[in-house]
Structure 1
Amino acid sequence: MAPGLGRLGPFLSTEVLDVLRVLDATPAPHGHELAAAMALRDWCAARWPDIAWTVQRYSPEGANLVASCGAGPLLYSHLDTSLNAAESEAAITGRADGCGPLRVRDGRVDGFGLGVARGPAAAALAGFVTARRGSLLLAGSGTHRRGGASAGVLAYLAHHPRPPAAIVAKCGPPTVLWEEPGALYLRVEVTGGYGAALAPDSAVPSGGIAAYAGQILAAVSAWRDSYLGSRPPAGQIGPQVGVGAIRSGSTAKPDLLPARVRLDLYVVTMPGEEPVRLAAEVEARLRVAMAGTALGDCTVGVTAEPLHPAAGTPRDAPIVSAARRLWQAEFGGAPPPIAGWTGSTDGVVLRTHGIDTVRLGPQSGRSPDDPRRETLAVDQLVAFSRIYAALLSDPSPSLDRRGGSTGA
C-alpha cells in the first residue's frame, strides 16, 4: 500500500458516497449517458477544480467522462447501467414500479445500478482524485447491447494516447483477474407458415410454431450442453450460454398463429472462437434435431453478432504483479485462485489494443427489498478505492513501460 493511503478511510468513504449520490440522481442507460456525464463533470469540476474534467461525446447522446493527471495507468469503469431505471425493464425484471433512491444504512449502500457499475465507478473516481496520477475513464456503452459494443472505450482509445497499463474497476469475484472471456450474441430463427387460431391446420406446423417453442428450446439446450462440454475452462476463464430472449407472434393479435420463433442467446467464449463458425454449428445442430418432427418443414437460420474476443494479460505483467501485491497488503492474504470465470468487460478491448490490463473490484449482492437494487459494503468500496489509488501511485518504473498483451 502506498504511504499514507491506509489513513484515508473516512475521507474516501465521504468521497465515494458523495459520488454515488450524484450518479444516482441521473439515469445513464446504455448509449444515453450524456446527461449523467455532464452532471458528474460539473460536480467534480466544482469539487476538484485543479483537475480537468472532460465530457467526450461518441454519439449524439452517448458520452464518456475523462480526467487526467499526467503519466500513469488508465483507471477504467463505466457510466451506463445494465437496466434502464426509467422503464425498469419490466420484460426482464417483471416489475414496472420505480426502484427508489440510494440508501445508506448499517455500513452498506443500497440502490439501483450499484453493481453495474456505479459502486466501483465511484470507488475508482475517489481513488483517482486521491492519487492525482494517471487517467480516469468512466465510459459510456460499457454494458453489452446489440449494435453498440464498447463504443465509449473505443472512442477514448481513438483520441487519447495509449496508456502504459489499465485497471478495470468493476464488481466481480473476490480476487484479481488478468484474463477475461469473450462474448457474442446468437440469434436463432425458426420459420414455418402463419395461420389462424380458429383453423390450427392452416399454420405450419399445425397449431402454430409457438406451440413448439419447447422443442426448439430443448434442441438449443442440447447444443449448449455440447458447447460447454467441448470447451473446458482454461486459466481463469470458462464458457457459458444463456437464452436471454424468446419472441413469437403478436400480443395484440393472438388469434393469428405466428410463423416464426426467435431466440436470442448470450454466449461467453474462449480464446480462438470464430462467431460465424459457431453460428453454423448451432444451425446444423437444430436442423438435425428438427428433421422428422413436426418442425421438419420449417427453416432455421442462426446469425452471430460478435461483441469482443477473449483476451488476457501475462500473469507476470507489472500491473498484475502490483495488483496482487496491493491486494495482499489491503486484505492480508494473496488473491484467491479462480477458474471458470464467465464475466467479460471492456478489459478485453483494452488488451486487444496492446494494453496490459488487470480487473478487480468489490462484490455486490441483490437487495433483499428489491432484486433490481444492489447492495455493497461501504468499507469494501473504500478498500478498493485505496487499492486503485495505490495502483495509480505505484512508483515502480515498470508500470510506465508499454507492453503487449497475449491471448487468455
Structure 2
Amino acid sequence: MSEDSTSTEPERTAIAPRRSVAAPERIVDALTVLTAGPTPYGRERPTAERVAAWAADRWPGSTWRVDPLPATAEAPNAANLLATAHLGDAPELLIYSHLDTSLTGDPDADEPVTGSRAELAGLRQATAPDDAALVTGFGLGVARAAAASALVGFTLAADRLRATGRPHRLTLLLAAAGTHRHHPSGLTPSGVTHHLDRHPPPAAAVVAKTGPAGVLTAEPGAMFLRVRLTSSFHPALARESAVPPGGLIAHLGTVIAALEEFRRRHLADRRTDPAAPVGAEVGIGAVAAGSPGKPDLLPGRLELHLYLVTVPGDDPGEIRARLRAVLDETLAGTPLRDCPVTVDGRLVHPAAATAADAPIARHAYAAWTAAHGEPPRPVTGWTGSTDGVVLRGRGVPTVRLGPPSRGPDPDDPRLDRYAVADLVRFADLYADVAVRHSGSSTT
C-alpha cells in the first residue's frame, strides 16, 4: 500500500482489537478437511468435492458446488469449489483463495525440490493455551491456511447478513490451478480465469493469501524465461574434442554467473522508488541437461528456467532482449562463445493495482484496524504475485491480505506453522470486509 493518499493512512490511535467471533474449532475443522488428501496442481477435484460435501452439510443456507475445468494434459482433474450466498439486489463480493499446493505432497515427486523422501506428517495441533496454539501441516503457507480462514469468514458473513435481512451477494472461490506453473505447450489452466470467463465480473474481490503484515492494493506480475544453449553430439570419452571442451555442463557455472549478472542489472534498473508497493526479483528455478540413463553421452542441450517478477512498465520483449544481450556480452570471451544461445519466455500476467481509496480498500483498512487495534502499515517492495493481478486485469477492484506464517516446522521445513488465533482473526476480518461491502456494519 502506497502513502500517496492521506485518506488511506488513518491516524494511528489506540483502538481496541475486536474480539474474535469465529470459533477456533471451525478453523481447525476446515483445515482438517482441506488437508485430508493431496491437492496437486490440476488435480484438485477430490479435495473440492470433499470440502463441498462437508460445507454443504454444515452450512446449508449457502450453495456449495464443484465446477470442473476442461481436462488438459497439464490439468487432467482440475476443479473449482464455489459457494454463494445471495439475498436481494446487491453488488457481488468475491472472496478468493486456491486449492492447489506448490508441491504435490508426494515425497518422491517433490524430492528434487525438497531434498527429502521422508513421509509427510498429517495436520497436527500443538497442545497449548488457546492464544498460543499452533497448527502445523503441509501446504498451509501456499494457500490452505488462508483458504480455511476465507471459508469460515464467508460463512460468518453469510450468516450475519442473512440474519439481518440485508441484501448481499457473496461468492467464495477456492480455485484450481492457482499457483504459477510453466507448461511446454504454453497453455496454463487457471481456475480464476475459468470462473471469470463464465460469470459476470464481481464488484470487488478479496484475495485470501499469506503475505505482508498489511493490506496489498498492488501486486507485481510474473514471467517465465528459458535460456537454451546447444552443441554438437559427443560421447563423454571424447570430452576434450567437444564444443565447448568438456561439454556444456562443465561450463554451467559460467552460464549461471551470466544470469546473475543479468539479475544484478535488471534489479538495479528498477530500484528507483523505495516507497513503491511492489518490487522486482529474478531467480533460477530449474536446470536441465542430458539423459540420466546415458551419462556417458555429453548433453547437446542445456536449459535454465527463470522466474521473473514484473513491475509496472515492464515490457516482456525488452526483458528477453536485455537478457539475450547480457548473455552475448558475458559469454563472448568464454569457451561457450561458439554455442548457439536462444532466449524465450512468456508473461504470465502483468503487474496491476487497485486505487488505494477504492471502496474495497477502505473496507479492508477499516476491518484490519478493527481486528488488530491499529491501521495497517504501508507495504513496500512486495515481490509476491497472486491471481489478484488476474482479477485486477479484468477490471475488478481487489485487495490482498492474509494470516501471517509462524515459519516452517523446525523438524520438517516442508511443513508450515500457523497460530490458530491468527487464522480466527482473519476469518473475522474477511467477514467484516464482506459485511461492510454489503452496506452493513459490525461496529
Same structural fold, with TM-score higher than 0.5 when normalized by the shorter chain: yes
Coordinate RMSD, CA, aligned: 1.7
- 8 Å CA contact 2:217–2:398 kept in 1: the answer is yes
How far is 1:194 from its partner?
A: 2.8
Shift >6 Å, 4+ stretches:
none
Query: Would you say 1:378 and 2:420 are equivalent positions?
Result: yes
* Distance 1:233-1:393 versus aligned 2 partners, 3 A rule: farther
**Aligned residue identity for 2:103:** L
- 1:86-97 equivalences in 2 (<5 Å): 86=106, 87-97=108-118
- Report the equivalent of 1:366: 408
Q: In 1, are the aligned partners of 2:101 and 2:179 still within 8 Å (CA)? A: yes
Partner of 2:336: helix, strand, or coil? coil
- Structure 2 residue matching 1:325: 3-state secondary structure: helix
Q: Deviations over 1:270-310 (max 9, x none)?
A: 11222222112111211121113211110100111221100
- Aligned residue number for residue 177 of structure 2: 141
Correspondence for 1:158: 197
Change (3 A) 1:21 1:396: closer
- Alignment partners' CA distance in 2, 1:182 and 1:18: 34
Q: What is the match of residue 84 of structure 2? A: 68
Where does the alignment leave 5 or more consecutive residues of structure 1 unmatched?
400-408
Structure 2: distance between partners of 1:31 and 1:386: 30
Note closer, same or farther for the CA distance 1:390–1:173 as it changes in structure 2 (3 Å cut).
Answer: same
Corresponding residue SS for 2:337 = coil
Aligned twin of 2:65: 54
The one-letter code sitting in structure 2 at the alignment partner of 1:97 is: A
Q: Write the mapping of 1:80-159 to structure 2, written as runs, cut at 5 A.
A: 80-86=100-106, 87-105=108-126, 106=128, 107-132=133-158, 133=168, 134-147=170-183, 149=188, 151-159=190-198
Work out whether residues 12 and 126 of structure 1, in 8 Å CA contact, stay in contact via their aligned partners in 2. Answer: no
SS of 1:73's equivalent?
A: strand
Q: Which amino acid aligns with 1:340?
A: G
Letter in 2 for 1:251: P
Deviates more, 1:151-160 or 1:253-262: 253-262
State the alpha-carbon separation in 2 of the partners of residues 395 and 290 from structure 1.
56
Distance of 1:77 and 1:381 partners within structure 2: 14
Structure-2 separation of matches of 1:308 and 1:212: 33
Distance of 2:440 and 2:352 partners within structure 1:
21
Are 2:360 and 2:437, in contact at CA under 8 Å, matched by a contact in 1? no
Q: Deviations over 1:96-149 (max 9, x none)?
A: 222110001130000000011000000000000010151100001110001354
Tell me the distance in 1 between the aligned counterparts of 2:374 and 2:219.
Answer: 23
1:168 matched to which residue of 2?
Answer: 207
1:74 maps to amino acid: L
- Match of residue 403 from structure 1: none
Q: Who is 1:219 aligned against? A: 258
Query: Residue 66 of structure 2: SS of its match in structure 1?
Result: strand
Query: Where does the alignment leave 5 or more consecutive residues of structure 2 unmatched?
Result: 1-16, 72-76, 159-167
Q: Deviations over 1:146-193 (max 9, x none)?
A: 135461000111112211100000001111100000001100001122
Residue type of the alignment partner of 1:64: N
Query: Which one of 44, 48, 55 corresponds to residue 37 of structure 1?
Result: 48
Alignment of 1:8-407 (within 5 A): 8-9=20-21, 11-60=22-71, 61-70=77-86, 71=90, 72-86=92-106, 87-105=108-126, 106=128, 107-132=133-158, 133=168, 134-147=170-183, 149=188, 151-232=190-271, 234=273, 235-364=276-405, 365-394=407-436, 397=439
Counterpart CA distance in 2 for 1:387 and 1:88 is 37
Which 10-residue stretch deviates more, 130-139 or 231-240?
231-240
| SS of equivalent residue, structure 1 residue 371 | strand
Q: Does the Cα contact within 8 Å between 2:18 and 2:370 map onto a contact in 1?
A: no
What does the per-residue CA deviation read over 1:314-338, in whole Å, with 9 as the maximum and x for residues that have no partner? 0100111111111111111111122
Partner-residue secondary structure (3-state), 1:394: helix
8 Å CA contact 1:77, 1:117 repeated in 2: yes
How many corresponding residue pairs?
394
CA distance in 1, matches of 2:268, 2:189: 29
Pick which of 218-227 and 256-265 moved more: 256-265
CA distance in structure 1 between the partners assigned to 2:301 and 2:377 by the alignment: 47
- Alignment TM-score, normalising by the size of structure 1: 0.93
| Change over 3 Å in CA distance of 1:377–1:238 after alignment to 2 | same
Q: Is the CA contact (8 Å cut-off) linking 1:224 and 1:241 kept in structure 2?
A: yes
Q: What TM-score do you get using the length of structure 2 for normalisation?
A: 0.86
Q: How high is the sequence identity, in percent, across the aligned residues?
A: 46
* 1:184–1:308 Cα contact (<8 Å) kept: yes
State the 1:209 CA deviation: 0.7
Tell me if the contact between 2:154 and 2:431 (Cα under 8 Å) persists in the aligned partners.
Answer: yes
User: Per the alignment, do residues 207 and 369 of structure 1 end up closer, same or farther by CA in structure 2, a change over 3 Å counting?
Assistant: same
CA apart distance, 1:254: 1.3
Is the Cα–Cα contact under 8 Å of residues 53 and 65 in structure 1 kept in the other structure? yes
- Contact 1:233/1:340, CA 8 A, preserved across alignment: no
CA 348–8 in structure 1, closer or farther in 2 if over 3 Å, else same: same
Q: In the TM superposition, what whole-angstrom CA distance separates every residue of 1:53-77 from its partner, at most 9, and x where no partner exists? A: 0111112311100011124311000
Contact 1:193 1:205 in 2 (8 A): no
The answer to whether the Cα contact below 8 Å between 2:100 and 2:176 also exists between their aligned partners in 1 is yes
Contact 1:244–1:265 (CA under 8 A) maintained in structure 2: yes
